[in-house]
Amino acid sequence: MKLCFSGNDYKYEIEGVMKLFIPATLFDIVYGDDIPQNGDYAFVRVKELDKHALLYVLCRFKGKTAHKVCSAQHDDDREILLSRLLFKVMSKLTGNVPKWGIITGIRPVKQVNRYLGRNMSDNEIYEAMQNEYLCSKEKCGIALKTARSQKKILDELKPDSFSLYVSIPFCPTRCSYCSFVSQSIEQCLGQIPEYLDNLCREIEYTGHLVSRLGLVLDTVYFGGGTPTTLEAQQLERLMKTIAQSFDLSHLREYTIEAGRPDTITPEKLEMIKQNGCTRISINPQTLSDNVLKKIGRDHTAQQFFNAFEIARQVGFDSINNDIIAGLPTDTAESFANTVDELIHLGAENITVHTLSIKRAARLNRDREKGLLENPADKMVSYATKRLLESGYVPYYLYRQKNMLENLENIGWSKPGKESLYNVYIMEEVQTILAVGAGGSTKLVDTKKKRLERVFNYKFPLEYNKHFGLMLEKKKEIEEFYAQKE
């Protein structure tokens, strides 16, 4: 498909809106005043006149054409006006009206926060989100609720606090939809001892660094991968190294992702609880055994229930369960069953993701095979309705590229059980120091509105190989804080 620009170069915005209707597509970009004679296209023109400008969008899609036009004053936001025109034209041609409207960014809550900052009422916010972004009332309502849940958490955030992220990029097997830097344990068994030695060194190094900088450890998060892929003694060594390297007296949350139920044993959960972990994730993704098999997860729904039971017996009172809407071969009925069973089980957090497929080719291939024709939108709406009815509140929300039907991921929580770390990382309001392969340190200075990232090596092999070099790079953290003074 061609995207043609005449008198403007709003490529980024127009491409973003176009992808809402035709995801995972590479567009031909053309500049000039000529309207294409054949094929599908979007022609976007801005014509400057003396006192105003004329904006015009004409699209041809699958043999049908439609257009819209409007005028703009000199100080009007042309990108937004053109995006709205294109959205309306493509909605008409495709019959599809994406519920987030023209909001294409990963954090739709930002727009709502902007309005809340102006003390607007709920009705005024609904109206503004509809008029400005063509956002549906349903999605605006969720964004508004999310913003409200976050406010208390953000208000309690202490300056000079930070979170520690520990990356364990190993899993028992690799799921077919995985977009993380994670390797199956068999592939990299030989690298693990050296990886753990280096990881302990990096934890100690980070401990010294934060005491020099006077930072206070607020939350710890073990992610990956699946941290519980490691043996109990290996995990214990990491947790003890953290306890020796940092002052944990101000710690408010300690999460370990025990994502895959097939990695959970009573011994591991007891050990992590004794060593200070307060919150875990046990993720079924779906409670349909057929779908689990299809996506390459080597466990059954029953193993998930067993793992959950073990976690309760060990005494965990803050458990998260992740599920995914839109998995290949899943149906609206079996997804609804997953949601209902989890609500009945009563985890403190339930996170509803929408399937996102990293590679465009893969998304299209699966679509062609008819594997992704399930109603993700219906699934997400069902989960939203049931979770709200059951007393859960949305507390963080984000979107990724290539998500089915341009939907979102939402973290739901029983009131008061929200994960602080998830809010901080999503809202980019607190420094996150990451250790381990694939970790990305995020340095935040909210006063000066600065955000910088320091990346670790992605894979365990290169992390081990270039470990010394990587520690050198971490000097950037001290430089960042020196500028903060």
Residue selected from 227, 259, 394, 411 as contacting ligand SF4 according to rule CB under 6 A: 259
Which 106-145 residues touch ligand SF4, going by CB under 6 A?
none
The strand pairing partners of 45, in sequence order, are 6, 56
Nearer to ligand SF4 by Cβ, of 261 and 394: the residue is 261
Nearest to 466 by CA among 195, 185, 203: 195
What is the rounded (10 degree) CA torsion for 183, 189, 193, 199?
0
Nearer to ligand SF4 by Cβ, of 143 and 235: the residue is 235
348: buried, middle or exposed (CB in 10 Å: 19+, 13-18, 0-12)?
A: buried
Using CA atoms, how far apart are residues 455 and 458, in angstroms rounded to an integer?
A: 8
Q: Does 99 bind ligand SF4 (CB under 6 A)?
A: no
Nearer to ligand SF4 by Cβ, of 13 and 257: the residue is 257
Q: Does 260 bind ligand SF4 (CB under 6 A)?
A: yes
CA distances from 175 to 3, 178, 357 (A): 36, 5, 12
Helix (H, G, I), strand (E, B) or coil at 466: coil
| Structural contact between residues 323 and 352, judged by C-beta atoms closer than 8 angstroms | yes
Residue 169: CB minimum distance to ligand SF4, A: 8
Element (H, E) at 387: helix 376-389
Element (H, E) at 441: strand 440-445
Q: Does 256 bind ligand SF4 (CB under 6 A)?
A: no
Q: Which amino acid is at 189?
A: L
Residue 177: CB minimum distance to ligand SF4, A: 7
Q: What is the DSSP code (8-state) at residue 465? A: H
Site string for ligand SF4, 344-373 (x = CB under 6 A): ------------------------------
Residue 18: CB minimum distance to ligand SF4, A: 29
Q: What is the residue whose two structure tokens read 């609720």?
A: 145
Q: What is the residue whose two structure tokens read 């801005």?
A: 46
Q: Does 175 bind ligand SF4 (CB under 6 A)?
A: yes
Residue 359: CB minimum distance to ligand SF4, A: 15
Nearest to 44 by CA among 33, 53, 425, 52: 33
The strand pairing partners of 320, in sequence order, are 281, 349
Window contacting ligand SF4 (CB under 6 A); options: 175-183, 308-316, 360-368, 403-411: 175-183
Nearer to ligand SF4 by Cβ, of 288 and 384: the residue is 288
Q: Does 180 bind ligand SF4 (CB under 6 A)?
A: yes
Q: Does 264 bind ligand SF4 (CB under 6 A)?
A: no
| Start-to-end CA span in the chain (Å) | 51
Listing DSSP states for 269-311 in one string gives: HHHHHHTT--EEE---B-S-HHHHHHTT----HHHHHHHHHHH
Nearer to ligand SF4 by Cβ, of 144 and 199: the residue is 199
Residue selected from 171, 292, 319, 407 as contacting ligand SF4 according to rule CB under 6 A: 171
Nearest to 141 by CA among 321, 379, 408, 402: 408
Q: Does 226 bind ligand SF4 (CB under 6 A)?
A: yes
How many residues touch ligand SF4 under the rule CB under 6 A: the total is 11
Nearer to ligand SF4 by Cβ, of 172 and 394: the residue is 172
Window contacting ligand SF4 (CB under 6 A); options: 223-231, 305-313, 371-379, 385-393: 223-231
Window contacting ligand SF4 (CB under 6 A); options: 6-14, 73-81, 157-165, 170-178: 170-178
Nearer to ligand SF4 by Cβ, of 108 and 227: the residue is 227
Residue 226: CB minimum distance to ligand SF4, A: 5
Angle at 443 between CA 150 and CA 398, to 5 degrees: 40
Residue selected from 70, 178, 216, 371 as contacting ligand SF4 according to rule CB under 6 A: 178
Residue selected from 2, 68, 174, 294 as contacting ligand SF4 according to rule CB under 6 A: 174
Nearer to ligand SF4 by Cβ, of 46 and 342: the residue is 342
Nearer to ligand SF4 by Cβ, of 83 and 229: the residue is 229
Nearer to ligand SF4 by Cβ, of 104 and 356: the residue is 356
Give strand ranges (E) for 149-285: 161-168, 170-171, 183-184, 216-224, 253-257, 279-281
| Structural contact between residues 458 and 187, judged by C-beta atoms closer than 8 angstroms | no
Using CA atoms, how far apart are residues 223 and 322, in angstroms rounded to an integer?
A: 13
| Structural contact between residues 205 and 244, judged by C-beta atoms closer than 8 angstroms | no
Using CA atoms, how far apart are residues 481 and 485, in angstroms rounded to an integer?
A: 7
Nearer to ligand SF4 by Cβ, of 108 and 259: the residue is 259
Residue 325: CB minimum distance to ligand SF4, A: 15
Q: What is the residue whose two structure tokens read 């790079």?
A: 473
Tokens representing 324 are 């995914």
Site string for ligand SF4, 31-70 (x = CB under 6 A): ----------------------------------------
Window contacting ligand SF4 (CB under 6 A); options: 91-99, 221-229, 407-415, 441-449: 221-229
Site residues for ligand SF4 per CB under 6 A: 171, 174-175, 178, 180, 182, 224-226, 259-260
